[in-house]
Structure 1
Amino acid sequence: MKWSKVLILLLIIALVISAAVLSVAPVFDQNKTLGKYLPLVKGINLGLDLQGGVHVVFEAHDTPEAKVTPDTMKQLKAIIENRVNGLGVSEPIIQIQGERRLIVELAGIKDPEEAVRTIAKTAYLQFITEDGKTVVTGADLKDAKEGKNQNGENVINIAFTPAGTKKFAEATAANVNKRIAIVLDNQVLTNPNVNEPIPNGKAEITGYATLDEAHNDALLLRSGALPVKVTVEEKRSVGPALGADSLAKSEHAGLVGVVAILVFMLVYYRLPGLIADFALVIYTLIVLAVYVGLHVTMTLPGIAGFLLSLGIAVDANVIIFERLKEELRTGKSLRSAIDAGFKRGFTAVFDANVTTIIAAVVLYYLGTGPIKGFAVTLIIGILASMFTAISMTRWLLHLVAAANISKNPKYFGA
């Protein structure tokens, strides 16, 4: 194969990769702070430390009705997860700490105070008759959705479970021309008059000034009441300016590191270094595409994991190229030296990557949110580096050998 064909093939590969990046970028273009160097990174979700948000620590307390147990903490976590998801927060971090604490991190929240108030409400719903009897509770609800009624009022349309439908029908039949108050957390939302029995298990809560208020309460009703009382023990906000500054510094440090690696590989290993640089660019695109596809939330530890995996990918090339140089010094042909270098270097590269993956898996299962992010990005990077350093770099070197560009060992760092 002539060297001109190799260059044409490499040009085609570069054009295909560029086209793929440019075609994917507009679809995932969600975040506007990234993408100065690669359009693909616009689709990566940013964590709390990069785009700002709120970090809250809730503490659960015993009540006469319920005690704090591992089961109630799991239930509490599930309910708050439902509420947070209803707020439309991207990739929240919610985890139990100790026996009574729950940590919630919400990135990109426009109104942190309102978000905390919403997810921390007990949301205990009651339908109370004029004589003070509770006839139906939130436990009997099947669904709750905000909307507008025929008069254009902001309302919540609720539907009961079969058991709740029966209770509500009996209660309305027994209280015709009387009032049944709808109470949420001991606050009367509305106190309508019962004109006739309601057997269909549906009702309407009125009295909301805005549709957003109705949405928040509907979210609380859908997710259910908290099993125990919670208080906010710690709350701190990360401003978007601080996050943007951290992101800018990370981008700068990463760019400087990548350029330094590319220059070193080119100067020290010559032609194999150029091929390794090309493979590293493809490696970077593969990793970023996986981040977008898996909806990875990028944090500062996550960026550190990515850069570390990039260094590991370079380390694999270094090991293999040093073996290649040793084989060339013994007088082997270029093709034979390439095969022998990869064969001798594979074991060292494989062992190093496997042990690092094991350490990353341990970090993921035993660590907290940011540590897990570091572990995830590190594992993805290592798996991608195994492909580019062992398969792609070897294939490109064979193309160069077949093209007979040069047989001088100096061009291969020997």
Structure 2
Amino acid sequence: MVKRGRILAFFLIVLLVGNLMGFSTNGILKNIKLGLDLQGGFEILYDVKPINANQKVDRDLLLSTVSALNKRINVLGVSEPIIQIEGNDRIRVQLAGVQDQEKAREILSTQAKLTFRDVFDQKLLDGGDLQEGGAAQSFDDKNRPIVTLTLKDADKFGQVTQQILSMKPNNLMVIWLDFIDGVDSFAAESQKDPSQQKYLSAATVSQVLNTKNVMISGNFTIEEAKQLADLLNAGSLPVDLHEVFSTSIGASFGELALHDTIFAGLIGIALIYLFMLVYYRFLGFIAVVALSIYIWLILVVFDWMNAVLTLPGIAALILGIAMAVDANILTYERIKEEIRAGKSMMSAFRAGSKHSFRTILDANLTSIIAAVVLFYYGTSSVKGFATMLIISILVSFVTAVWGSRLLLQLWVNSRFLNNKVSWFGVKKSQIRDIHEYNEEELVVRGPLRNADFIKHHRIYFMVSGAMTVIGIIALLTMGLNLGIDFASGTRIEIQAPNHQLTKDVLTKEFDELGYKIEDITLAGNNNEMSISRFVGVLSKEEVAKVKAHFVDKYGVEPNISTVSPTVGKELAKNAFKGIMFASLGIVLYVAFRFEWYFGFATIVSLLHDAFLIITIFSILRIEVDLTFIAAVLTVVGFSVHDTIVTFDRIRENMKIKKRVKTYDDLAEIVNKSLIQVMARSINTVLTVLIASGVLWIFGAESIKNFSLALLVGLIAGAYSSIFIAAQLWLVMKAKTLGKTKTKPKDKEKDYDPEPQV
């Protein structure tokens, strides 16, 4: 008898959650902060240097510097800046949505040290003599913009003016901002055109002034006068800041990247939903409901965390959807197996859920290990990718393991699905009488039931070995096309929709600017985009000069990134550490949860996958940047994810078989285990390839290399899990057969001492 109350409960839950999603999604999307790569802005990493020999850069000084930078950012009016202390002597600043990036850059790095000097550059007063908040923008008697200052001590100012008055005819009070000893001088600056002079003003002192109120006049605009007053009120920086890394992204670039990536994501999600509905039918419908809740929950958690959404973060979300599907596929394939074994619908649901839980747990934990290492060693947008990946894995575990099963359980317990095996994609002809099974028999069904994946394991090893040799030769002869993230230098990206760019024209323009370009890459349907790289780090003045040139030439502001040699080496070192520690952590976990042989086979498999990606990028001369490392670590996590599913089935079948005494016994277990997980492996890889494929085809230009690395790595991971890891474990495990202590006659009877490996 059908229990309609369970079905009604299902629809009520779906309706309730659907309404909650509908009412809250728009608000959540509006609240989520976009990173600078999605709305434009810039990011700078500063080395913090002491301003004198007696100063020590410690935590307190770094915090004081952060506080001073925050005051300056308030001058800019930027909402929700990100200022982070990194290591012992670095500060990273991210400002998204800044309209005038060069102005912001100047305000951040200027010392804003005000000094009053005589014509011989002797310091008479400094910013410490000003009252706090005593600077203001005003107008003189001719309605010209000026800056008024309020001093702490009128008598001191009187003494200073008297000293200057005694220096006739050199009775000028020169007011400087950021005077540099040994570099700046009034004598040199006074010979320049007034618009080029560095000092703010040089006023004649004709009488002793015992006053607290001082006026700075100059060729100010109202905006310049207000900015100067704000800077003086914010105070001078307690340290020197040396720029070692920077990247800037125009607002149009960010808007286009956001549009393209969201469009790619919607296509990917739609294709994944369609695949699940077509292949898994009713189970696919449950999965679509659970995945929709999963996406909404991720956005809710991201909003609660007040996190910043970056372009790689969106890619991680889309990839996370594909990985969340895997948990559903694992459960559904096990349920279908139990149905084919002749179990009732309720028994099949319980058994399938139970058997898949441990596999899902192990697989997700290994992926989290890779994501945590990525977060620890990553910087900026890579941390954003890792954060979203961790959230995705945790939320998918909740929705796929509990949410999806709860919804399906309501239908199963209603008994409505009894005898409706076709709703699960199972034909009645595939169902076997449960009484026909032998206790230790490993039964496989489907079109691959007679396949032998073990027979040609030597060929698999030879193919992988040949690919490895090709990779080594490629790396030794061609190396990697390292981006400036690792090689250091400057990267200039131009996107001019109404122009067709050429290498000759761009090379000529950079020659005119005085820069020798190492490499120019053209992209876009009409070569409207170019990426130019050269050795050497541009200063902030040079960055402004290059931007102004291309704005005049093409009407667009280029994106400019600079990386110092020191930072480039550090990033390369951290990338190597990240891959090594992630691999080590995963292998140790697999060895602990399974056995040492499984752990060894896993590390060979994941190194195989990572090296294959590196080989492809070396041969095709594709640029290797920070997102490439994120892709490699993601592939490492996913490859082990896939390998664990296979190993878990082998371990389970070893317990069923019980008596494993010959190589043939072991080979049968491995081969049938591979057949049993093949449908799951193919379907999971398809969903992840859909996600990464649409990102590569339709996503933003800046993550195409990232998406390509994922595509190559995920295909390699699916191949290595089945044809490398499982086969290698078989070869190693076979050598241990018969080494346990048994009677000689038993060994002679039950064990073939020379297995055909």
How many Å apart are 1:401 and its aligned residue? 1.9
Q: Relative to 1, partners in 2 of residues 1:99 and 1:287: Cα closer, same or farther, differing over 3 Å?
A: closer
Does 2:53 match 1:49?
no
How far apart in 1 are the matches of 2:95 and 2:299?
A: 23
Deviates more, 1:127-136 or 1:340-349: 127-136
Q: Secondary structure at the match of 1:322?
A: helix
* Equivalent position of 1:411 in the other structure: 423
Does 2:365 match 1:354?
yes
How far apart in 1 are the matches of 2:215 and 2:297?
A: 51
Q: Relative to 1, partners in 2 of residues 1:335 and 1:138: Cα closer, same or farther, differing over 3 Å?
A: farther
How far apart in 1 are the matches of 2:12 and 2:83?
A: 50
Q: Relative to 1, partners in 2 of residues 1:229 and 1:293: Cα closer, same or farther, differing over 3 Å?
A: closer
Query: Does the CA-based 8 Å contact 1:126-1:138 persist in structure 2?
Result: no
Q: Match for 1:13: what amino acid? A: V
Q: Match for 2:265: what amino acid? A: G
* Equivalent position of 2:405 in the other structure: 394
Q: Secondary structure at the match of 2:111?
A: coil
Q: Secondary structure at the match of 1:283?
A: helix
Query: Does the CA-based 8 Å contact 1:324-1:337 persist in structure 2?
Result: yes
* Equivalent position of 2:124 in the other structure: 134
Query: Does the CA-based 8 Å contact 2:49-2:239 persist in structure 1?
Result: no
How many Å apart are 1:137 and its aligned residue? 3.4
Query: Does the CA-based 8 Å contact 1:61-1:68 persist in structure 2?
Result: no
- Aligned residue runs from structure 1 range 102-121, under 5 A: 104-121=93-110
* Equivalent position of 2:263 in the other structure: 252
Q: Relative to 1, partners in 2 of residues 1:293 and 1:253: Cα closer, same or farther, differing over 3 Å?
A: same
How many Å apart are 1:392 and its aligned residue? 1.0
Q: Secondary structure at the match of 1:21?
A: helix
* Equivalent position of 1:224 in the other structure: 236
- Aligned residue runs from structure 1 range 7-86, under 5 A: 7-22=11-26, 24=27, 40-56=28-44, 65-66=52-53, 71=58, 74=62, 78=66, 79-80=68-69, 82-84=71-73, 86=75
How many Å apart are 1:74 and its aligned residue? 4.3
Q: Secondary structure at the match of 2:78?
A: coil
Q: Relative to 1, partners in 2 of residues 1:402 and 1:235: Cα closer, same or farther, differing over 3 Å?
A: closer
* Equivalent position of 1:313 in the other structure: 324
How far apart in 2 are the matches of 1:105 and 1:221?
A: 23
Determine what percentage of the aligned residue pairs are the same residue.
34
Query: Does the CA-based 8 Å contact 1:92-1:107 persist in structure 2?
Result: yes
| Residue-pair matches, total | 386
How far apart in 2 are the matches of 1:159 and 1:320?
A: 73
Query: Does the CA-based 8 Å contact 1:59-1:100 persist in structure 2?
Result: yes
How far apart in 1 are the matches of 2:330 and 2:115?
A: 69
Q: Match for 1:413: what amino acid? A: G
Query: Does the CA-based 8 Å contact 2:48-2:89 persist in structure 1?
Result: yes
Query: Does the CA-based 8 Å contact 2:50-2:56 persist in structure 1?
Result: no
Q: 2:10 aligns with which of 2, 6, 12?
A: 6
Query: Does the CA-based 8 Å contact 2:65-2:239 persist in structure 1?
Result: no
Query: Does the CA-based 8 Å contact 1:265-1:273 persist in structure 2?
Result: yes
Does 2:174 match 1:185?
no
* Equivalent position of 1:35 in the other structure: none
Deviates more, 1:206-215 or 1:325-334: 206-215
How many Å apart are 1:222 and its aligned residue? 2.1
Q: Secondary structure at the match of 1:382?
A: helix
How many Å apart are 1:9 and its aligned residue? 3.8
Q: Relative to 1, partners in 2 of residues 1:20 and 1:75: Cα closer, same or farther, differing over 3 Å?
A: closer
Point out which structure has higher relative CO (alpha carbons under 8 A, 6+ apart): 1
How far apart in 2 are the matches of 1:68 and 1:99?
A: 14
- Aligned residue runs from structure 1 range 307-346, under 5 A: 307-346=318-357
Q: Match for 2:124: what amino acid? A: T
How many Å apart are 1:273 and its aligned residue? 1.4
Q: Secondary structure at the match of 1:106?
A: strand
How far apart in 2 are the matches of 1:272 and 1:228?
A: 62
How many Å apart are 1:138 and its aligned residue? 4.1
Deviates more, 1:220-229 or 1:324-333: 220-229
Does 2:111 match 1:125?
no
Does 2:286 match 1:275?
yes
CA distances 1:254-308 after superposition (whole Å, capped 9, x unpaired): 1111111111111222212111110111111111122233332222211121112
How many Å apart are 1:118 and its aligned residue? 1.1
CA distances 1:115-135 after superposition (whole Å, capped 9, x unpaired): 111112121123568995534
How many Å apart are 1:403 and its aligned residue? 3.1
How far apart in 2 are the matches of 1:337 and 1:216?
A: 74
Query: Does the CA-based 8 Å contact 2:45-2:92 persist in structure 1?
Result: yes
How many Å apart are 1:367 and its aligned residue? 1.0
How far apart in 1 are the matches of 2:261 and 2:210?
A: 65
Q: 1:303 aligns with which of 300, 314, 337?
A: 314
- Tell me the TM-score normalized by structure 2: 0.44
What's the RMSD between the two structures over aligned residues?
Answer: 4.1
Q: Match for 2:365: what amino acid? A: V
How far apart in 2 are the matches of 1:67 and 1:413?
A: 76
Query: Does the CA-based 8 Å contact 2:130-2:149 persist in structure 1?
Result: no
Q: Secondary structure at the match of 1:304?
A: helix
Q: Match for 2:271: what amino acid? A: A
Query: Does the CA-based 8 Å contact 1:265-1:274 persist in structure 2?
Result: yes
Q: Match for 2:127: what amino acid? A: T
How many Å apart are 1:85 and its aligned residue? 5.4
Q: Match for 1:21: what amino acid? A: T
How many Å apart are 1:395 and its aligned residue? 1.1
Does 2:149 match 1:171?
no
How far apart in 1 are the matches of 2:416 and 2:214?
A: 79
How far apart in 1 are the matches of 2:159 and 2:178?
A: 25
Q: Relative to 1, partners in 2 of residues 1:313 and 1:141: Cα closer, same or farther, differing over 3 Å?
A: farther
Query: Does the CA-based 8 Å contact 1:156-1:218 persist in structure 2?
Result: no
Query: Does the CA-based 8 Å contact 2:135-2:232 persist in structure 1?
Result: no
How many Å apart are 1:379 and its aligned residue? 1.0
Q: Relative to 1, partners in 2 of residues 1:394 and 1:148: Cα closer, same or farther, differing over 3 Å?
A: farther
Q: Relative to 1, partners in 2 of residues 1:216 and 1:256: Cα closer, same or farther, differing over 3 Å?
A: farther
How far apart in 2 are the matches of 1:314 and 1:139?
A: 66
More strand by share: 1
Q: Relative to 1, partners in 2 of residues 1:136 and 1:223: Cα closer, same or farther, differing over 3 Å?
A: closer
Q: Secondary structure at the match of 1:19?
A: helix
Q: Secondary structure at the match of 2:115?
A: strand
Larger radius of gyration: 2
How far apart in 1 are the matches of 2:252 and 2:92?
A: 23
Q: Match for 1:46: what amino acid? A: L
Q: Match for 2:226: what amino acid? A: A
How far apart in 2 are the matches of 1:97 and 1:9?
A: 46
Q: What runs of 5+ residues in structure 2 fail to find an aligned partner? A: 165-172, 180-198, 427-757
Q: What runs of 5+ residues in structure 1 fail to find an aligned partner? A: 25-39
CA distances 1:366-413 after superposition (whole Å, capped 9, x unpaired): 111121111011111112111111121111112212333322222123
* Equivalent position of 2:254 in the other structure: 243
Q: Secondary structure at the match of 2:105?
A: helix
Query: Does the CA-based 8 Å contact 2:132-2:233 persist in structure 1?
Result: no
Q: Secondary structure at the match of 1:377?
A: helix
Q: Secondary structure at the match of 1:89?
A: coil
How far apart in 1 are the matches of 2:250 and 2:22?
A: 34
Q: Relative to 1, partners in 2 of residues 1:344 and 1:146: Cα closer, same or farther, differing over 3 Å?
A: farther
How many Å apart are 1:189 and its aligned residue? 6.1
Query: Does the CA-based 8 Å contact 1:68-1:100 persist in structure 2?
Result: no
How far apart in 2 are the matches of 1:159 and 1:413?
A: 82
Q: Relative to 1, partners in 2 of residues 1:185 and 1:369: Cα closer, same or farther, differing over 3 Å?
A: same
How far apart in 2 are the matches of 1:375 and 1:296?
A: 12
